[in-house]
Amino acid sequence: MLDNVGTAAPVLILLGPPGAGKGTQARVLEEKFGLVQLSTGDLLRAAVAAGTEAGLAAKAVMEAGDLVSDEIVINILRDRLQDDDCAKGVILDGFPRTTVQAEALDVLLAESGQKINAAISLEVEDAAMVTRISGRYTCGACGEGYHDEFKQPAKDGVCDKCGGTEMKRRADDNAETVASRLEAYHAQTAPLIAYYDGKGALQTVDAMGDIKAIAGNLSAIVEKATA
Ligand code: AMP
């Protein structure tokens, strides 16, 4: 993306606490609008699995539910944004999470002649988050998300999308870590709502209801913001 100065590929940000549905909705938008979902959580988990220097530094922090350092996350995102596929436009899922990251993103985008089309805040109640997070799992092959209570595959243990049979649960999706992650969200990430409101880029969506209904509302916002 950084090489495509002036192409004005869309840049969307999904804001919201852990469990708000950012990843689920980003996948829907990715398919519908031909954009690329960029999840810093996924990038960090890949770095941990690969045992890179950044991954080694991030592992314990992620397991505790705290935020990884701005430096590590900004570097990982900057590298990923340089990949060719990002020229189609991106949906940032889980980045930025601090004001330092938001400011770094503004600089990165300005360097490539781009700007944020919309920062969409997924509004949810904290009380629902523990149930949402502790019941979720994904297909190990394609990443499709499922939930013990809210979204089961048609055939138990088999992915509806790709037929994969290896389902994964995240190490940090447990009640204790969720509490720290929510705390980090309120202390460090929630101030970004005012940050983007101040730039006239903020949109909000009620994210407590049905996944498909929320996707419809989000799509309408994205259509307008990228028109
Ligand atoms: P997520 O998959 O977005 O829920 O992120 C999982 C974990 O990765 C978080 O609890 C943080 O420890 C770390 N992480 C992901 N994105 C960021 C970010 N933008 N800044 C700091 N830490 C992050």
State whether the beta carbon of 11 lies less than 6 angstroms from ligand 1: no
Query: Ligand 1 centre from 97 Cα, in Å?
Result: 8
- Calculate mean pLDDT across residues 38-43: 96
Whole-number Å distance between alpha carbons of 165 and 70 = 36
- Say whether the peptide bond before residue 191 is cis (omega within 30 degrees of 0): no
Which residue among 27, 45, 97, 132 is the active-site one? 97
Q: How far, rounded to the nearest angstrom, does the alpha carbon of residue 226 sit from its chain's CA centroid?
A: 19
| Active-site residue, 97 included | yes
Q: Per residue in 127-155, pLDDT tens? A: 888 888 989 999 999 999 999 998 899 99
State whether the beta carbon of 55 lies less than 6 angstroms from ligand 1: no
Q: Per residue in 153-207, pLDDT tens? A: 999 999 999 999 999 999 899 888 999 999 999 999 999 999 999 999 999 999 9
Of 200, 3, 191, nearest in space to 108 by CA: 3
The DSSP bridge pattern shows strands 202-206 and 118-123 to be parallel
Query: Ligand 1 centre from 41 Cα, in Å?
Result: 5
| In the predicted structure, residue 225 carries a pLDDT above the cut 90 | yes
Q: Per residue in 10-21, pLDDT tens? A: 999 999 999 999
State whether the beta carbon of 13 lies less than 6 angstroms from ligand 1: no
Cβ pair 74, 20 in contact under 8 A: no
Closest ligand 1 atom to residue 61 Cα is 12
